[in-house]
Structure 1
Amino acid sequence: MSGFTLKARAAAPLRLDLRGITPAALAALSAAEVERLEIGHGNALVPLAEFFAVEARSDDTMVLAGDLSRCDRIGWQMDGGTLIVDGAAGDYAGAGMRAGEIVVKGDAGALAACEMAGGTLRIAGSVGDFAASTLPGSMDGMRGGTLIVGGNAGARFGDRMRRGTALIFGDAGDFLASRMVAGTIALAGRAGAHAGYGMRRGSVVFAGQAPGASPTFVPAVAGAPVFWQLLARDLAQHGGPFATLASRGIDRQLGDVAAGGKGELILVR
């Protein structure tokens, strides 16, 4: 196997679709063969070399460098290897990802980690709306793996999330964990309005400021000390405001009872 550095020559006049450009797909190819691969440009297909300079690497890592804010579907359905985005990424970053690791050193657009099923996606900056949620027209959101957002998240983060772990080190927009089915979301900053709307199961941990009280969530009567210690220790490995969770107390709100839900909002004291 061999890796490649794909350096953007200039910002594309139309959005680029990079589905299929993954470490595993390029591993057995030469640099010349990679240059001839077709990518979407608007409603046309063009050779990758039209927008990227291709250089072979001595390791197995794939690196995308330059202005990639108009490059969508980076790491689409990726099933192994390491992909590093040295800058911002467009929409659908890591969507459908099944294995491997993606590191985005800047911001990512909307729909990041949609229907992600495995692996790790690390975004140093912020993400747009509907991260860790469903692809348009689908019923299931993030299905596994780990999403780490170093900045803020837009609205509907974790919408219909079914499995996996997602952490936000900044703030989140409105409708955090809306219609959540299962999984874990941890938030270090503030949440927007209607957190947990339509939530059925799963856990949302508020390590920072607690959200406003919702009339469709009720206080938990029973404690969950063993579960909390296990969850807190799992989140603590990511450091920052999550490192001290195991030593802090919690209050639990159950719901969304309007949706017959059995989820929980965990408010850390």
Structure 2
Amino acid sequence: MSGFTLRLKAPATERLTLSGITPAKLSALSALEIARLPVGVEKGGVTLGDAFEISGSAGDVLTLEGATAELDYIGHGLDSGTIRVIGNAGTYAGRKMSGGKLEIHGNAGDFLASGSTGGMIHVRGNAGDNLGGMVQGDRFGMLGGLAVVEGNIGARAGDKMRRGTIVVRGKTGAHTGSRMIGGTIWAEGGFGPEPGLMMRRGTLIGPSVEKLLPTFVDTGKHDLVIVRIISRYLKTVLGDLAPKPMPLFVQKIGGDLATIGRGEILLPAS
């Protein structure tokens, strides 16, 4: 697969925004137009050609080499093709993605996948706070798509999440699924303290919870077919990245009863 490669010339001295820098957009521009694309935070500031060495040709893959946490909005608006990040990504990576794939071979900052409606995000390292969470001014957080983080994640993942799936191979921070409206978060390493704060609907799946809120209640052991369906779907889509299946019977913790209480935390039945 052909495509452009952007190699960061030197460590960024200011935050750069790569909003809209996608394979499809670059393929429609000339070399001069690509180099003139603004990536600085100020009008008339840094351009793509100032910050990056640009090589390759039009294609469905865009590679960012030497990426650092100062590069924000990587994959913003991605609807097709693949963006491969060799290094770290800053805040708002994968924001409002609707398709395609974003691969981050390092860590990701806060608000990964915020407002996404589709596509696939794969982070090989850790991710910050508010993964799939709501950004001020939006109505919801994650609205669709799939995000996989191989490491740990920060607090408030899935805040006001409505649809989609988040898989965390490590552990989550506090208040995972806060104000959650729908979707699934599966944390293989377990949940940090007080997941599901003000959760209305949605599903949290994992082996353990550090501390439950008092507004969640144990509803007993259940054989839930939907858990096996989710597990098979993730195995088909993710292969070796899919979480290990839950046991036949799970312990269902319902809440948050401070709201309508239709959310659920599913743990292995003891």
For 2:38, the equivalent position in structure 1 comes to 38
Q: More deviation in 19-28 or 101-110? A: 19-28
Cα drift, residue 240 of structure 1: 5.6
For 2:215, the equivalent position in structure 1 comes to 216
* Percent of residue pairs bearing the same amino acid type: 38
For residues 47-102 of structure 1, give each alpha carbon's deviation from its aligned partner in whole angstroms, at most 9, with x where no partner exists.
21111000014752100111321010001111111110011001100011111100
The one-letter code matched in structure 1 to 2:93 is: A
The one-letter code matched in structure 2 to 1:93 is: A
- What does 1:68-107 align with in structure 2 at a 5 Å threshold? 68-107=68-107
The one-letter code matched in structure 2 to 1:48 is: L
Cα drift, residue 212 of structure 1: 2.7
For residues 112-162 of structure 1, give each alpha carbon's deviation from its aligned partner in whole angstroms, at most 9, with x where no partner exists.
110111000111111111110111232200000000011110111110000
For 1:229, the equivalent position in structure 2 comes to 228
Cα drift, residue 39 of structure 1: 1.5
Equivalent-residue separation in structure 1 for 2:167 and 2:265 (angstroms): 14
For 1:50, the equivalent position in structure 2 comes to 50
* Cα pair distance change 1:219/1:80, threshold 3 Å: same
Task: Confirm whether residue 194 of structure 1 aligns to residue 203 of structure 2.
Answer: no
Equivalent-residue separation in structure 1 for 2:20 and 2:213 (angstroms): 43
Q: More deviation in 144-153 or 53-62? A: 53-62
Aligned partner of residue 119 in structure 1, secondary structure? strand
Q: How high is the TM-score relative to the length of structure 2?
A: 0.92
Structure 1 stretches lacking a partner, 5+ long: none
For 1:8, the equivalent position in structure 2 comes to 8
For 1:253, the equivalent position in structure 2 comes to 253
Q: How high is the TM-score relative to the length of structure 1?
A: 0.92
The one-letter code matched in structure 2 to 1:6 is: L
Contact 1:22–1:62 (8 Å) recurs in 2:
yes
Equivalent-residue separation in structure 1 for 2:210 and 2:183 (angstroms): 19
In the alignment of these two chains, the number of paired residues is: 267
* Cα pair distance change 1:59/1:79, threshold 3 Å: closer
Equivalent-residue separation in structure 2 for 1:235 and 1:60 (angstroms): 25
The one-letter code matched in structure 2 to 1:261 is: G
Aligned partner of residue 62 in structure 1, secondary structure? strand
Aligned partner of residue 118 in structure 1, secondary structure? strand
- What does 1:155-174 align with in structure 2 at a 5 Å threshold? 155-174=155-174
For 2:245, the equivalent position in structure 1 comes to 244
Structure 2 stretches lacking a partner, 5+ long: none
Task: Confirm whether residue 263 of structure 1 aligns to residue 270 of structure 2.
Answer: no
Equivalent-residue separation in structure 1 for 2:133 and 2:61 (angstroms): 27
